[in-house]
Amino acid sequence: MATSSRRHGFPLGSVLFSLSLAAVFGYYAHGVHAAARGVTDWLLILPAAGIGITALLTIVGTKVIDWYRQRDAVAKEDPSTLPAVLFMGLLALYVALIPVIGFDLGSLLFLCLALYLQGERRWWVIVGFGVVVSATIVLLFIELLGIRLPTLLL
């Protein structure tokens, strides 16, 4: 992976992720405690969330201190996250559309778009791969394993 001689940036992503997790832990523990009818309802959750929040705040503190100490050091370039983020978006879209277009058409579109996203440009490879794989998987689950899948075409 290419590196460049740039200074250590503030670890914003890491700090934000840790703080978000801590906030979720706190929100969840508060909700459980507020609705609790007795100790047994929060016996595990409250102490666990407390330990988790402490650990996460420690991580944030350590990250900030480490950044402050090494802010003049040369940092490595992070690999691009764009392909991963696009793929996540595509997967989320696929799952969101399944109730509407079914597993057969949904899987076909997902497979074709995923292949395109990864650089394949030959249309007959994209369509052939999508049709063969989606039909095989959906029919395997429906016919061989007897699982009822919502479908539109098959």
CA atoms in the 13 A half-sphere facing the CB of 36: 16
129-144 burial, b if ≥16 CB within 10 A, otherwise e? bbeeebeeebeeebee
Of these, 23, 71, 118, 123, which contacts other proteins (CB under 8 A)? 118
Question: Is position 52 an interface residue for other proteins (rule: CB under 8 A)?
Answer: yes
How is 12-52 classified by DSSP, letter by letter? HHHHHHHHHHHHHHHHHHHHHHHH-SSHHHHTTHHHHHHHH
Of these, 2, 119, 121, 124, which contacts other proteins (CB under 8 A)? 119
- Compute CA 11 distance to the chain's CA centroid, rounded to the nearest angstrom: 20
Question: Is position 64 an interface residue for other proteins (rule: CB under 8 A)?
Answer: no
Question: Is position 134 an interface residue for other proteins (rule: CB under 8 A)?
Answer: yes
Residues in contact with other proteins by CB under 8 A are 13-14, 17-18, 21, 25, 28, 31-32, 35-41, 43-45, 48-49, 51-52, 55-56, 58-59, 62, 69, 81, 83-84, 86-88, 91-92, 94-95, 98-99, 103, 107, 110-111, 114-115, 117-120, 129, 133-134, 137-138, 141, 145-147, 149
